[in-house]
């Protein structure tokens, strides 16, 4: 979500009232011990994972960057070596013959149209003309990453121009979606609810090379998953009383779908982040300690759903526990439009930003997850066994395993602490593992996890390092030689290497990059959020926050940069439109097409931008997917 919107409402608020040593203090101690960062700042890789010397290593990032001077205003800019196009703006029909966009939409149409708040997404290549299926047998994983091993396989070549895009619709303000501050009827609420969730859309490219055009096609697997779509629970907490309501209503929906993940078996993972903001209280209500820890409040974020839809009314005794049904990672089969989305409780209930999966020791699947709120934590899940064997035995690898939370030590090491009822300290507070998972934040508090500076996306690089964006740390108050940024409002990217090939309980960590808005520096950026490592070691970094030149003034729109993790080289590939956030990343198998998103262009205000419509000062701007290709049809990022 945009910072303007969420200021002190959600992820900038502090729900963590423990005295656990916060990350900025750990970092301060770590940096003074190392006596580094005295020199250059912007883009400084303060690495203990050795950087390559520029003499011996040619940077893999070679495009012409977008100059700062071109990166503002109502229209996007892209590197002169690249081009962009628009795909599936908010309100477009899911399929070509669906209901056309009308503003404001009605709820029936919106349920068959692309939602708003485009965020995390992934592209699933379709195998061949006859079969839709593109499961793990096709989308084979490399050692660390989800990348096809054999690009000559025809299954991949077809998938370069025909696939399924699963895309999250994180949020849309009432003023943007409804054209008014608050809903006036249940119909208004339904419009808002249907604008949230996930779209599964089948897309195809007509024409080859860089001039081909992508569009949605007729499909028997295209669908919308929204706040009223039936879902099911799986994993250790699935049968818990904490997920049952007194009136016995069935589990419905997913909301505030922020970032995402994808599995080696070909499914999509959508992550529920600021779910608390959609609940409110119409009557007498006092927050329980558990509700407080997750940030529930009487008015929520102002969506007003609870006024017309009792399910979101915290004071309605019939719907007690409804709020516990949100905050999970949800698995969706992109190739089966009839399958129910599954909430995987083994991954814990937090404000999930996203999940990055990789394959660890013995074929166990390992997932890294940020809980995006000031002073909340980073989590890791490790499956019980080899993922292929588990699937073969009819068990989801995401249902059986261990959940850990990270503690960062100031000597550059760290530990993964298990959230388990077998821990006597946790057993003093909770009586069963389903409580531990449902209130994972509280279990993590007890373990002494390290409060972080708003952990956003995670990604696993081909170097076996895990990268995580910490979007900002404005709580640092005192500058010193090691910490010349006070406050450090611009965020940084941390990385670590786990022992035992991802499955171990210990890690080494360091800061990959301290982002800084520095006057006169061409590669200035701040508030890193979306991040994705490609198989060649490039990092794609997306921003969500004011891109200033060191002062108060915003000098360019939010952006996507590319960094070479071997050299620290950093270049600006794309800038969005005024008021937007750049988020979401997906690629075709050959990496010659990349999909990203502009979220909340103009914050919905037509006086800032009318994107994707030409500038007229009137047309309501629409969140959109942006298709990026290199003019010479080369690999994206080169």
Question: In the bound complex, what is the minimum distance in angstroms from residue 10's beta carbon to ligand FEO?
Answer: 9
Complex with ligand FEO: residue 202 or 453, whichever CB lies closer: 453
Token digits for 201? 């859309």
Residue carrying the six token digits 């963590």: 16
Question: Regarding beta strands 452-453 and 401-408, do their DSSP bridges make them parallel or antiparallel, or are they unpaired?
Answer: unpaired
CB of 527 to ligand FEO, least distance (A): 10
Closer of 371 and 435 to ligand FEO (Cβ) = 371
- Smaller CB distance to Ca ion: residue 219 or 471? 471
- Closer Cβ to ligand FEO, 344 or 374, answer by number: 374
User: What is the DSSP-derived secondary structure letter of residue 59?
Assistant: -
Site string for Ca ion, 542-581 (x = CB under 5 A): --x-------------------------------------
Helix (H) / strand (E) containing 268? strand 268-272
Residue 110, sorted as left (phi over 0), alpha (psi -120 to 50) or beta, turns out to be alpha
255, 257, 261, 266: CA torsion to nearest 10: 60
d(CA 595, CA 588): 9
CA distance 408 to 423: 20
Which does residue 273 bind out of ligand FEO, Ca ion, none, counting CB within 5 to 8 angstroms by kind?
ligand FEO
Shortest Å distance, C-beta 544 to ligand FEO:
7
What minimum distance in Å lies between the beta carbon of 459 and ligand FEO?
15
Query: Pick from Ca ion, ligand FEO, none: which does 415 bind, CB < 5 to 8 A by kind?
Result: none
Q: 30 and 483 in contact (C-beta within 8 Å)?
A: no
> Where in 475-534 is the site for Ca ion (CB under 5 A)?
529
Cα 162 to Cα 152: distance, rounded to the nearest angstrom: 16
Which residues contribute to the site for ligand FEO (CB under 6 A)?
1, 11, 170, 258, 273, 353, 372, 456
Are 452 and 434 in contact, with CB atoms under 8 Å apart?
A: no
Of 219 and 257, which CB lies nearer to ligand FEO in the complex structure? 257
- Rounded (5°) CA angle 263-266-267: 70
Nearer to Ca ion, 415 or 456 (CB): 456
In degrees to the nearest 10, what's the CA dihedral of 387, 391, 396, 397?
Answer: -10
Nearer to ligand FEO, 141 or 171 (CB): 171
Q: Which does 498 bind (CB under 5 to 8 A by kind): Ca ion, ligand FEO, none?
A: none
Q: How far is the CB of 262 from ligand FEO (least distance, A)?
A: 18
C-alpha–C-alpha distance, residues 82 and 355, integer Å: 29
For residues 196 and 114, the answer to whether their CB atoms sit within 8 Å is no
Cα gap 166→272, rounded to integer Å: 15
Q: Which is nearer to Ca ion, 20 or 603 (CB)?
A: 603
- How many residues form the binding site for Ca ion (CB under 5 A)? 4
> Toward ligand FEO, which CB reaches closer, 30 or 118?
118
Query: Whole-number minimum distance, CB 574 to Ca ion, in Å?
Result: 16
Closest CA to 82 of 608, 579, 625, 560: 560
315 Cβ contact partners less than 8 Å away, ≥ 6 residues apart: 281, 282, 283, 284, 285
Q: Closest distance between ligand FEO and the C-beta of residue 260, in Å?
A: 11
Q: Measured at CB, which residue is nearest to Ca ion?
A: 544
Of residues 11 and 569, the one with the C-beta less far from ligand FEO:
11
Rounded to whole angstroms, how far apart are CA atoms 407 and 417? 7
| Residue 445 binds which of ligand FEO, Ca ion, none (CB < 5-8 A, kind-dependent) | none
Shortest distance (Å) from residue 348 CB to ligand FEO: 16
Least separation in angstroms between residue 223's CB and ligand FEO is 23
- Contact partner, 11, from Ca ion, ligand FEO, none, Cβ < 5-8 Å per class: ligand FEO
Taking a C-beta distance cutoff of 8 angstroms, is the pair 170, 195 a contact?
Answer: no
Q: Which does 92 bind (CB under 5 to 8 A by kind): Ca ion, ligand FEO, none?
A: none
Helix, strand, coil shares of the chain, percent, nearest 5, are 15, 30, 55
- Does 623 sit near Ca ion (CB under 5 A)? no
CA distance 139 to 380: 23
Shortest separation between residue 329's beta carbon and ligand FEO, angstroms: 14
Find the shortest distance in angstroms from Cβ 178 to ligand FEO.
21
Nearer to ligand FEO, 10 or 358 (CB): 10
In the numeric block, which tokens belong to residue 396?
Answer: 């989801």
> Is residue 13 classed as helix, strand or coil in its secondary structure?
coil
Question: From ligand FEO, Ca ion, none, which one binds at residue 202 (CB under 5 to 8 Å depending on kind)?
Answer: none
Distance from C-alpha of 470 to C-alpha of 510, rounded to nearest angstrom: 13
Site membership for Ca ion, residue 1 (CB under 5 A): yes
Closest-CA residue to 121 (of 629, 638, 635, 626): 626
Taking CB within 5 to 8 Å according to partner kind, which of ligand FEO, Ca ion, none is near residue 331?
none
Binding mask 444-463 for Ca ion (x = CB under 5 A): ------------x-------
| Residues contributing to the site for Ca ion (CB under 5 A) | 1, 456, 529, 544
């Amino acid at each position: 979500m945009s910072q303007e919107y969420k200021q002190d409402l959600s992820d900038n608020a502090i729900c963590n009232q423990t005295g656990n040593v916060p990350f900025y203090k750990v970092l301060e101690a770590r940096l003074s011990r190392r006596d580094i960062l005295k020199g250059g700042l912007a883009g400084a890789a303060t690495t203990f994972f050795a950087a390559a010397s520029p003499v011996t290593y040619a940077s893999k990032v070679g495009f012409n960057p977008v100059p700062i001077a071109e990166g503002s205003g109502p229209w996007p800019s892209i590197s002169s070596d690249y081009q962009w196009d628009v795909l599936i703006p908010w309100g477009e029909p899911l399929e070509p013959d669906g209901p056309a966009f009308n503003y404001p939409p009605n709820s029936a149409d919106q349920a068959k149209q692309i939602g708003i708040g485009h965020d995390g997404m992934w592209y699933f290549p379709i195998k061949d003309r006859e079969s839709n299926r593109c499961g793990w047998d096709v989308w084979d994983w490399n050692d660390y990453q989800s990348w096809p091993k054999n690009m000559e396989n025809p299954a991949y070549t077809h998938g370069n121009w025909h696939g399924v895009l699963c895309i999250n619709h994180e949020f849309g303000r009432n003023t943007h979606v409804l054209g008014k501050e608050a809903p006036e009827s249940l119909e208004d609420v339904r419009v808002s609810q249907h604008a949230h969730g996930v779209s599964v859309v089948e897309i195809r490219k007509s024409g080859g090379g860089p001039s081909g055009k992508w569009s949605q096609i007729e499909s028997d697997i295209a669908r919308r998953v929204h706040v009223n779509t039936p879902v099911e629970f799986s994993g250790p907490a699935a049968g818990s009383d904490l997920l049952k309501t007194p009136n016995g209503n069935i589990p419905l929906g997913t909301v505030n779908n922020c970032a995402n993940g994808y599995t080696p078996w070909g499914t999509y993972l959508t992550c529920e982040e600021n779910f608390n903001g959609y609940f409110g209280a119409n009557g007498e209500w006092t927050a329980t300690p558990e509700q407080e820890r997750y940030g529930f409040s009487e008015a929520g974020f102002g969506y007003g759903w609870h006024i017309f839809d009792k399910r979101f009314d915290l004071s309605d005794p019939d719907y007690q526990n409804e709020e516990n049904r949100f905050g999970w990672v949800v698995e969706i089969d992109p190739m089966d439009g009839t399958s129910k989305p599954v909430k995987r409780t083994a991954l814990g209930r937090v404000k999930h930003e996203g999940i990055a999966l990789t394959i660890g020791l013995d074929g166990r699947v390992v997932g890294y997850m940020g809980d995006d709120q000031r002073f909340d934590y980073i989590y890791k899940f490790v499956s019980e066994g080899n993922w292929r064997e588990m699937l073969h035995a009819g068990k989801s690898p995401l249902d059986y395993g261990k959940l850990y939370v990270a503690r960062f030590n100031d000597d550059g090491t760290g530990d993964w602490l298990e959230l388990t009822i077998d821990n006597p300290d946790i057993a003093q507070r909770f009586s069963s593992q389903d409580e531990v998972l449902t209130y994972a934040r509280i279990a993590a508090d007890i373990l002494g996890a390290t409060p972080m500076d708003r952990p956003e996306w995670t990604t696993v690089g081909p170097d076996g390092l895990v990268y995580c964006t910490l979007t900002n740390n404005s709580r640092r108050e005192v500058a010193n030689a090691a910490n010349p940024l006070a406050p450090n409002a611009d965020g940084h990217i941390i990385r670590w290497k786990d022992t035992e090939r991802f499955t171990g309980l210990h890690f080494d960590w360091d800061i990959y990059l301290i982002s800084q808005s520095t006057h006169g520096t061409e590669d200035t950026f701040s508030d890193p959020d979306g991040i994705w490592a490609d198989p060649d070691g490039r990092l794609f970094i997306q921003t969500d926050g004011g891109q200033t030149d060191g002062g108060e003034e915003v000098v360019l729109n939010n952006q996507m940069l590319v960094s070479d993790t071997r050299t620290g080289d950093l270049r600006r590939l794309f800038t969005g439109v005024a008021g937007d956030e750049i988020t979401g990343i997906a690629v075709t198998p050959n990496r010659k097409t990349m999909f990203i998103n502009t979220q909340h262009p103009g914050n919905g205000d037509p006086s800032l931008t009318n994107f994707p419509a030409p500038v007229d000062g009137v047309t309501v701007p629409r969140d959109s997917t942006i298709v990026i290709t290199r003019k010479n049809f080369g690999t994206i990022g080169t």
